[in-house]
Amino acid sequence: MSVVEMNLEVICRQFLSHGRVYSYQPFGKGHINDTFLVAFSSETGIDSFVLQQINRNIFPRPQELMHNIVTVTRALKEKIRPFPGINKQYVPLTVIPTREGKWWYEDKKGRAWRMYNYIANSYSIDKLTSCSQAYEVAKMFGVFQKCVEGLNPEHLFMTIPHFHDASYRLDHFKKVLQKDPCQRKGGAKKEIDTFFEHEVIFKWFEKKLQTNKVPVRITHNDTKVNNVLLNRDTDNGMSVIDLDTVMPGYSLYDFGDLVRTGSCPADEDEPDLDRVYVDKNLYQKLVEGYLAYTKSFLTETEISMFPLAGKYITLIMAMRFLTDYLEGDRYYKVHRPHHNLERCRAQLALVHSLLENQQNLEEITRSAYSTANNS
Ligand code: ADP
Ligand code: GN1
Ligand code: MG
Which pLDDT tens digit goes with each residue over 351-365? 999 999 999 999 999
Which atom of ligand 1 is least distant from the CA of 33? 3
Question: Does 114 share its domain with 242?
Answer: no
Whether 65 lines ligand 1, by a CB cut-off of 6 Å, is no
Point out which residues pair with 247 in neighbouring strands: 219
Question: Does 97 share its domain with 162?
Answer: no
Contact 177, 186 (CB under 8 A): no
Question: Does 259 share its domain with 325?
Answer: yes
Question: Does 135 share its domain with 111?
Answer: no
| pLDDT tens string 95-140 | 999 999 999 999 999 999 999 999 999 999 999 999 999 999 999 9
Question: Does 109 share its domain with 178?
Answer: no
Is 123 a domain residue?
Answer: no
Best probe residue, ligand 1, of 27, 31, 333 (max atoms within 8 Å of C-beta): 27
Residue nearest to atom 1 of ligand 2 (CA): 31
Grade residue 6 by pLDDT with cuts at 50, 70 and 90: low
Burial of 18 (0-12, 13-18, 19+ CB in 10 A): exposed
Which structural domain range is residue 341 located in?
Answer: 131-374
Domain total in the chain: 2
Predicted pLDDT at 116:
98
Question: Does 152 share its domain with 55?
Answer: no
Distance (angstroms) between ligand 3 centre and the Cα of 101 equals: 26
Specify the DSSP class assigned to residue 263: S
Q: Which residues contact 246 (CB under 8 A, 6 or more apart)?
A: 68, 69, 72, 148, 156, 159, 218, 219, 220, 221
Residues 155, 102: Cα–Cα separation, whole Å: 19
Best probe residue, ligand 1, of 27, 34, 35, 116 (max atoms within 8 Å of C-beta): 35
Asked if pLDDT for residue 310 goes beyond 60, the answer is yes
Question: Does 142 share its domain with 107?
Answer: no
Q: 118, 148, 174 — which closes off a domain? A: 118
Asked if pLDDT for residue 294 goes beyond 60, the answer is yes
Is 126 a domain residue?
Answer: no
Whether 242 lines ligand 2, by a CB cut-off of 6 Å, is yes
Question: Does 147 share its domain with 22?
Answer: no
Question: Does 268 share its domain with 156?
Answer: yes
Q: How does the average pLDDT of the chain come out, rounded?
A: 94
Distance (angstroms) between ligand 3 centre and the Cα of 30 equals: 4
Whether 256 lines ligand 2, by a CB cut-off of 6 Å, is no
Is 18 a domain residue?
Answer: yes
The pTM of the full predicted model, rounded to 2 decimals, is 0.95
Whether 118 lines ligand 1, by a CB cut-off of 6 Å, is yes
Residue nearest to atom 25 of ligand 1 (CA): 119
| pLDDT tens string 174-214 | 999 999 999 999 999 999 999 999 999 999 999 999 998 89
Is 316 a domain residue?
Answer: yes
Best probe residue, ligand 1, of 241, 244, 246, 333 (max atoms within 8 Å of C-beta): 241
| pLDDT tens string 129-171 | 999 999 999 999 999 999 999 999 999 999 999 999 999 999 9
Say which CATH number the domain at 213 has: 3.90.1200.10
Say which CATH number the domain at 38 has: 3.30.200.20
Question: Does 22 share its domain with 46?
Answer: yes
Question: Does 240 share its domain with 357?
Answer: yes
Residues 41, 21: Cα–Cα separation, whole Å: 6
Whether 242 lines ligand 1, by a CB cut-off of 6 Å, is yes
Question: Does 192 share its domain with 112?
Answer: no
Q: Which residues contact 36 (CB under 8 A, 6 or more apart)?
A: 3, 8, 24, 25, 26, 27, 50, 51, 52
Q: Which DSSP string corresponds to 74-141?
A: HHHHHHSTTSTTTTTT-----EEPPTTS-SSEE-TTS-EEEEEE--TTEE--SS--SHHHHHHHHHHH
Is 124 a domain residue?
Answer: no
